[in-house]
A and B are shown apart, each in its own frame.
Chain A
Amino acid sequence: EVQLVESGGGLVQPGGSLRLSCAASGFTFSTYWIYWVRQTPGKGLVWVSRISGDGHNSDYADSVKGRFTISRDNAKNTVYLQMNSLRAEDTAVYYCGRDIVVVGGMDVWGQGTTVTVSS
């Protein structure tokens, strides 16, 4: 079965750090771009970051640039999102998704992991 499973969310204080993981199975992981998207309850989808299949290219939303780092380990079929200097406005459900084709759209999504930044 093709799937993505996020983990690593939790409660963290402002200024703290957290690392999210997105574990893939059921497909040739290294050939797909992987995205991170977040959503605050009752609000819309917001793109966070993406990384190419070989890990050589990555992009970030302005709101997280310089604070978040995306990476991948194709031997472990896992993408990571290292989140530093967390702010209250980073509180959200974080989803990872697989790009169906390059600039196609995310055809496989995880169930999401919740990040809460609060003191």
Chain B
Amino acid sequence: SYALTQPPSVSVSPRQTASLTCSGGNLGNKYVCWYQQKPGQSPVLIMYQDTKRPSGIPERFSGSKSGNTATLTISGTQVIDEADYYCQTWDSSTVIFGGGTKLTVL
């Protein structure tokens, strides 16, 4: 079955750039979206169709894709960005989430 791979954890210093990756077979031919989830809260969509930011999402969040790897980049990371981040795609009639990356800002 199809799978998306994310690193379990990423650490970044405040004001630095964080790069979160998401890899999967033939991902270059699939749309990818990204969610942010903070403890005790519902997920928030922060990127869709690879590079589009929903209304209200800060410009410091950007998305890209190269080959079979999608990347969520957070420029000028802030302490409030500390959260779990999940990538998601579609494979045929199935919806797949990555395992999630815990972003620590310290």
Q: Are B97 and A105 in touch, CB under 8 angstroms? A: no
Q: How far is the CA of A50 from the CA of B95 in the complex (A)?
A: 9
Nearest chain A CB to B65 CB, angstrom units: 14
Per the CB 8 Å criterion, the residue count for chain B at the interface is 26
B35:A45 contact, CB within 8 angstroms: yes
Report yes or no: A104 in contact with B49, Cβ–Cβ below 8 A: yes
Complex partner residue of A61 from B35, B86, B94, CB under 8 angstroms: B94
Task: Please give me the residue from chain A that is nearest to B97 by CB atom.
Answer: A45
List of B residues within 8 angstroms of A103 by Cβ: 31, 49, 90
A105 touches B35 (CB 8 A): yes
Given contacts A59-B93, A100-B54, contact A105 B100 (CB under 8 A): no
Binding site for A on B (CB under 8 A): 1, 31, 33-35, 37, 42-45, 47-49, 54, 84, 86, 88, 90, 93-100
Report yes or no: A45 in contact with B100, Cβ–Cβ below 8 A: yes
Chain A residues within 8 Å of B54, by CB? 100, 107
Nearest chain A CB to B26 CB, angstrom units: 15
Specify the main secondary structure of chain B where it touches its partner. strand
- Asked if A80 is an interface residue, CB under 8 A from chain B, the answer is no
Counting contact residues on chain A (CB < 8 A from B), the size range is: 20 to 34
Query: How many whole Å from B32's CB to the nearest CB in chain A?
Result: 9
Give me the interface of A with B, judged by CB distance under 8 Å. Answer: 35, 37, 44-47, 50, 59, 61-62, 95, 97, 100-101, 103-107, 109-112
Pick the contact of A105: B1, B33, B98 (CB < 8 A).
Answer: B33
Q: Is the CB of A107 within 8 A of B100?
A: no
Quick check: B43 and A109 within 8 Å, CB to CB? Answer: yes
In angstroms, Cα B52 to Cα A101, docked, is 12
